[in-house]
Amino acid sequence: MPRPRYASTEHTADIGLVAYGETLKDVFANAAYGMFDLMVDVSHTPETQRVDVPAEADDTPSLLVAFLNELLFIFETRNLILVRFEIVEWDETTRLAARAWGSALAGQQPREQIKAATYHDMRVEKTAEGYEAEVLFDV
């Protein structure tokens, strides 16, 4: 049985996820997918629009938080649900450039209103199966 892209987690007054992947790029993409899936049911979201997503930070965990928060900014300002993510430039620690595809929020039932990805209990680590990252979100 293949490993899931992500698993949701519970935390006092917040929600979170653990993202899995064979590579760090996979983990970042799966964390982004999981975040949007926590907010709305993304299963029927078409990929009609593409956006470019830059992010910079001081280290890998901070880069993941910056990436997710940039995606939340796009969601809030452009009303876009994003469902596919491709990291096209990457140095694994301080900078990335990604492409994301999705469509306007229209008719999807909201699940959670995520305000921000946080650094609380953040972790990104190599495992026997590849990589995983845990992220908590402020709701």
Summarize the confidence of residues 41-65 as an average pLDDT.
96
**Residue 107's pLDDT is what?**
76
Q: Of all residues in the chain, what percent carry a pLDDT higher than 70?
A: 97
Whether 1 is covered by a domain: the verdict is no
Whether 55 is covered by a domain: the verdict is yes
CATH number, domain containing residue 71: 3.55.10.10
Whether 45 is covered by a domain: the verdict is yes
Give pLDDT tens digits for 64-121.
999 999 999 999 999 999 999 999 999 978 999 999 999 998 877 788 999 999 999 8
**Residue 1's pLDDT is what?**
58
pLDDT for residue 125 is more than 80: yes
For residue 71, give its domain range.
6-138
The answer to whether the beta carbons of residues 67 and 87 sit under 8 Å apart is no
- Between CA 11 and CA 19 the distance in angstroms is 16
The answer to whether the beta carbons of residues 27 and 132 sit under 8 Å apart is yes
Whether 93 is covered by a domain: the verdict is yes
Whether 27 is covered by a domain: the verdict is yes
**Residue 11's pLDDT is what?**
66
**Residue 113's pLDDT is what?**
93
Whether 13 is covered by a domain: the verdict is yes
> How many structural domains comprise the chain?
1
pLDDT for residue 16 is more than 90: yes
- Between CA 30 and CA 124 the distance in angstroms is 13
- Between CA 88 and CA 24 the distance in angstroms is 13
**Residue 110's pLDDT is what?**
85
Q: Which amino acid is at 95?
A: R
Summarize the confidence of residues 9-31 as an average pLDDT.
90
